[in-house]
Amino acid sequence: MEITKVLVANRGEIAVRIMTACQEMGIATVGVYSDVDAKSPHVEMADESYPLGDPTPSASYLNMDKLIDIAKKTGANAVHPGYGFLSENSKFAQTCADAGLKFIGPSAEVIDSMGDKIAAKRTMRKAGVPVIPGFTGEEKGETIQQACERIGFPVLIKASGGGGGKGMKIVHAMGELDAAIQSARREAKSSFGNDELLLEKYLAKPRHIEFQILADEFGNVVHLFERECSIQRRHQKVIEETPSVALDQNLRDKMGQAAILAAKTIGYSNAGTVEFMLDADKKFYFLEMNTRLQVEHAITEMTTGIDIVKWQIKIASGEHLTLEQEKLIQHGHAIECRIYAEDPEKNFMPSTGTLKTVELPTGMNIRHDTGISQGSKISPYYDPMLAKLIVYGEDRKDASRKMEWALSNYIALGVTTNIPFLRAIVHHPAFASGDLDTHFIETYFKSWAASTTLPPEVLIAAAIDDFKHSAIVDDSENSQAENESHSPWKQVGRWRIDS
């Protein structure tokens, strides 16, 4: 089926990313936006955009009826769900199919088979993919407490219905178990509408290593190598990189083959990610499969030259995968930092407000995927990720240095961001040595705070700026603004300016 018009059922940077791919391929795009997103870049980017109203996710980006309705009305013949929102919702995939719209992703059945984390592990164990010891509900007659005793503390509680760190809790002793279960159920219910939990062995110093998969609708599957996503905070990835220093060619091949096996086992099609935990002894375990595009797909694109989103569309159009595993190579090193509107010094509390000044670091091999721009209002309705900053270098050291430079030149004033925190991580000797595990932040940045010393330059700059503006107010009768024509290019320069 030729895809001619795609409704992008998402917002922010990923909506922009998908629309760019469509436009390059000559495919028309339909954007959607909730009230608070009316002025977002993805709205401008789309060939046409339609309102979803109330910003509450359930009323807007999760509202299947509205989305299907707009797709039908505009003549779209495919839907790209992006990540988050409805991207792993099998009912949405099915509803699209029923409405004659190609869902750009795997089938509803495949989403279902991996959406239930317990069933997913069961399937993988049967297929011969290594799986972490745990409690998945199939152990007959065992209570969650008995399972903890069998597996041994610490254990990890996770929501069965979804990922992204929501509903995850680490439990170190039996006494903490009940409280953790309650809190996890509450978060799981609210995030996924399903409070079923699962339990697994909590590994010491594990790395999070995932493999990007591309599979066509004819059973051909390749992997695009690994991504190391060990730097996490509360199970949310913060910094990702590829290749991983923990993998040699032999282990990379083995894990890649396991990832392909996982995909083939469930008849996977389109782009997906097989997540593994890698322990200190270089043993790896299947963790889960994300049946969608991932936030961190860009680092794979930087090191393989492959456009994953375009391949998603080509695969959904029924094209054969022309990439061959033997010919695929990784080159150089890529790192991604997720820029969040949050305050690292205040327990990473999301920060809201207006982005007043945005000056981005630019240069070769710096990629900046964002759905916000100067003047954007950061609302509390959605994920506080502002942008993804991705760099590529000849090797890991070169890429790290470029990332440090880019973070140091990333000016975003108006909302509090995690940029100083990201800089501190990239600058840390443990990061430089590549000695990463999923406890990295907890180990090195438990109660991190930026220096509170105020350099005198800061006060000097503020005082001069205030001095100059107070001077202008005094003779403002004569303000330049009055003399300027009302042309759009006068947007360069603030209107009450003294130079």
Give which of its own copies, other proteins, none residue 130 binds (C-beta under 5 to 8 Å, depending on kind): none
368: left (phi over 0), alpha (psi -120 to 50) or beta: beta
Give which of its own copies, other proteins, none residue 187 binds (C-beta under 5 to 8 Å, depending on kind): other proteins
Candidates 155, 414, 418, 424: give the one binding its own copies (CB under 8 A). Answer: 414
Closest CA to 384 of 135, 164, 103: 164
Question: Exposed/middle/buried for 350, CB within 10 Å: 0-12, 13-18, 19+?
Answer: middle
Q: One of 11, 252, 292, 338 is an active-site residue; which one?
A: 292
Q: How many residues contact other proteins, by CB under 8 A?
A: 71
- Distances in Å between the Cα of 332 and the Cα atoms of 209, 298, 400 are 18, 14, 12
Paired sense of beta strands 377-378 and 357-359, if any: unpaired
> Which 274-313 positions form the footprint of its own copies (CB under 8 A)?
298, 301, 305-307, 310
Report the alpha-carbon distance of residue 481 to residue 483 in Å, rounded.
Answer: 5
At closest approach, how far in Å is the CB of 177 from other proteins?
18
Q: In the complex with its own copies, which residue's Cβ is closer, 97 or 413?
A: 413
Q: Given the rule CB under 8 A, which of 100-108, 150-158, 353-361, 387-395 is the region that contacts other proteins?
A: 353-361
CB 209 within 8 A of CB 244: yes
173 forms part of the interface with other proteins (CB under 8 A): no
Q: Count the Cβ atoms, other than its own, within 10 Å of residue 375.
A: 12
> Which 242-301 positions form the footprint of other proteins (CB under 8 A)?
none
> Which 185-214 positions form the footprint of other proteins (CB under 8 A)?
186-187, 190-191
User: What string of H, E and C letters represents the secondary structure of 157-187?
Assistant: EEECCCCCCCCCEEECCHHHHHHHHHHHHHH
Active site residue 292: yes
Give which of other proteins, its own copies, none residue 419 binds (C-beta under 5 to 8 Å, depending on kind): other proteins
Q: In the complex with other proteins, which residue's Cβ is closer, 250 or 451?
A: 451
CB 412 within 8 A of CB 361: no
Report the alpha-carbon distance of residue 134 to residue 229 in Å, rounded.
Answer: 22
452 forms part of the interface with other proteins (CB under 8 A): yes
Report the alpha-carbon distance of residue 126 to residue 120 in Å, rounded.
Answer: 10
Q: Given the rule CB under 8 A, which of 221-229, 341-349, 391-399, 419-427 is the region that contacts its own copies?
A: 391-399
What do you get for the CA distance between the two ends of the chain, in Å?
A: 59
462 forms part of the interface with other proteins (CB under 8 A): yes
Q: In the complex with its own copies, which residue's Cβ is closer, 130 or 332?
A: 332
Give the side-chain half-sphere CA count within 13 A for 332.
Answer: 18
> Which 367-386 positions form the footprint of its own copies (CB under 8 A)?
367-369, 374-375
Give which of other proteins, its own copies, none residue 191 binds (C-beta under 5 to 8 Å, depending on kind): other proteins
174 forms part of the interface with other proteins (CB under 8 A): no
* Radius of gyration of the chain, Cα coordinates, nearest whole angstrom: 24
CB 113 within 8 A of CB 120: yes
Instruction: Show the tokens assigned to 484.
Output: 């300027």
Give which of its own copies, other proteins, none residue 458 binds (C-beta under 5 to 8 Å, depending on kind): other proteins
Report the alpha-carbon distance of residue 358 to residue 379 in Å, rounded.
Answer: 17
Q: Check the CA dihedral 424-427-430-435 and report its sign.
A: positive
95 forms part of the interface with other proteins (CB under 8 A): no
Candidates 42, 102, 166, 338: give the one binding other proteins (CB under 8 A). Answer: 166
Candidates 346, 394, 397, 443: give the one binding other proteins (CB under 8 A). Answer: 346
> Which 3-22 positions form the footprint of its own copies (CB under 8 A)?
17, 20
Give which of other proteins, its own copies, none residue 103 binds (C-beta under 5 to 8 Å, depending on kind): none
> Which 317-346 positions form the footprint of its own copies (CB under 8 A)?
329, 331-332
DSSP 490: G
- Distances in Å between the Cα of 119 and the Cα atoms of 165, 184, 188, 237 are 19, 19, 17, 24
> Which 457-486 positions form the footprint of its own copies (CB under 8 A)?
469, 472-473, 481, 484, 486
Candidates 139, 461, 481, 484: give the one binding other proteins (CB under 8 A). Answer: 461
DSSP helix/strand/coil, 226:
strand
Q: Given the rule CB under 8 A, which of 134-142, 169-177, 188-196, 356-364 is the region that contacts its own copies?
A: 356-364
497 forms part of the interface with other proteins (CB under 8 A): yes
- Distances in Å between the Cα of 115 and the Cα atoms of 21, 108, 161, 201, 487 are 27, 10, 6, 20, 53
Which residues of this protein are in contact with its own copies, per CB under 8 A?
A: 17, 20, 23-26, 298, 301, 305-307, 310, 329, 331-332, 354, 356-357, 362-365, 367-369, 374-375, 392-394, 398, 401-402, 405, 409, 413-414, 469, 472-473, 481, 484, 486-496
Q: Which residues are catalytic?
A: 292
